[in-house]
Amino acid sequence: MSEPTKTIEGWYAYHEFHTIDWASWRSIDPQERQRIFSAFLQVLATFEQEERDGTSSFGVYAIAGHKADLLFLFFRPTLDEVITCKNHIAKTEFADYLQTSYSYTSIVELSSYLAKPGSNPMDDPSLKPRLQPLQEKSGAICFYPMNKRRSGDDNWYMLPMPERIELMRSHGLIGRDYAGKVRQIVTGSVGFDDWEWGVTLYAQDPLQFKKLVYEMRFDEVSARYGDFGDFYVGTAITLSDFEALIQFGE
Ligand code: 76R
């Protein structure tokens, strides 16, 4: 058996994607819509307040394409808390006009591949913000789940540790070229959800997602060992952007 990689976990992550049921939403009168949406905003404002208190992170995103219109993204210390957040949203009247089109449960994960041998990663002061990451409030977001392949000769989990370290070094080097342009949050989901990791990327310019993901496809870690799920791309929105998004301009 090859040696498992040590991982350090941080906040739980819960990505919840929704489509808006525009036909039902349009069918109710504007005052009623206003009332329902105001109540919903109050719930979201609570999540934002909790983020300001430093106990979690929350974000709302507008998503491109037919797979979703909205993403609510929660980073929270416990699984119980993300379940509670999910149910807070589900119990609102506004949720009657949403359909959950996809969701992903995972946990912020740092792996020890590039840690200095013998060092205690917990001594690293840069670790806390990486384990308890705050979301970006502007710019673009990209999310997709992925696996490391386990088929025939291409089985990541049977590679000896030194080989995996070497491959991850090359992966990290490509990533570092995007420092300042793309921020990545890798969340582990073995035992939690249908893929092994979620990848959440932030960039001011969404084109940088394409550049980075494309470049990584040529790197062995992704070329030989990466299997990918559906991609979601969108932008961070404020609560007032959100209000504008769901209005019809009456
Ligand atoms: O954490 C670190 O900065 C150390 C180096 C590093 C690790 C250990 C790193 C760097 N990643 C690591 C682990 Mn990554 N990453 C992805 C994807 O689309 C694809 O082809 C893959 C999706 C992207 C875009 C990306 C970006 N990374 C991982 C893991 C866990 C692997 C395991 O444990 O087997 C996955 C699944 C994964 C996937 N990675 C970086 C980036 C970027 C931009 C960096 C540089 C970060 C920096 O140096 O600031």
The structural domains of the chain, ordered by start, are: 7-246 (3.30.70.1030)
Predicted pLDDT of residue 125: 79
- For ligand 1, what atom is nearest to the CA of residue 110? 1
pLDDT at 82 over 70: yes
Exposed, middle or buried, 13 (CB in 10 Å: 0-12/13-18/19+)? buried
pLDDT category of residue 250 using cuts at 50, 70 and 90? low
Rg, Å, the chain Cα set? 20
Residues 6 or more apart in contact with residue 150 via CB below 8 angstroms: 156, 157, 158
Measured in Å, residue 166 CA sits from the centre of ligand 1 at: 13
Q: Which of 111, 155, 185, 219 to mutate to test the pocket of ligand 1 (most atoms within 8 A of CB)?
A: 111
C-alpha to C-alpha distance for 236 and 80, rounded to whole angstroms: 25
Percent of residues, the chain, with pLDDT higher than 90:
92
Beta-bridge mates of residue 234: 63, 141
Angle at 92 between CA 188 and CA 231, to 5 degrees: 35
Q: What pTM value is reported for the model? A: 0.96
User: How much of the chain exceeds pLDDT 70, in percent?
Assistant: 98
Mapped onto helix, strand or coil, the DSSP state of residue 118 is coil
Q: Say if ligand 1 is within 6 A of residue 199 CB.
A: yes
Q: Which of 6, 157, 158, 199 to mutate to test the pocket of ligand 1 (most atoms within 8 A of CB)?
A: 199
Residue 234 CA to residue 242 CA, distance in Å, equals: 13
Q: How far is the CA of 90 from the centre of ligand 1 (A)?
A: 33
pLDDT, tens only, 189-217:
999 999 999 999 999 999 999 999 999 99
Query: What would the two tokens of residue 9 be?
Result: 């976990």
Cβ of 11: how many Cβ atoms within 10 Å? 22
What integer best gives the mean pLDDT of the chain? Answer: 96
The partner residues of 204 in beta bridges, in order of sequence, read none
Of 229, 228, 226, residue with least CA distance to 149: 226
- Which residue among 14, 61, 97, 144 is the active-site one? 144
pLDDT in tens, 36-76: 999 999 999 999 999 999 999 999 999 999 999 999 999 99
In this predicted structure, which of 70-74, 115-119, 140-144 has the lowest mean pLDDT?
A: 115-119
Find the 154 Cα to ligand 1 centroid distance in Å.
Answer: 19
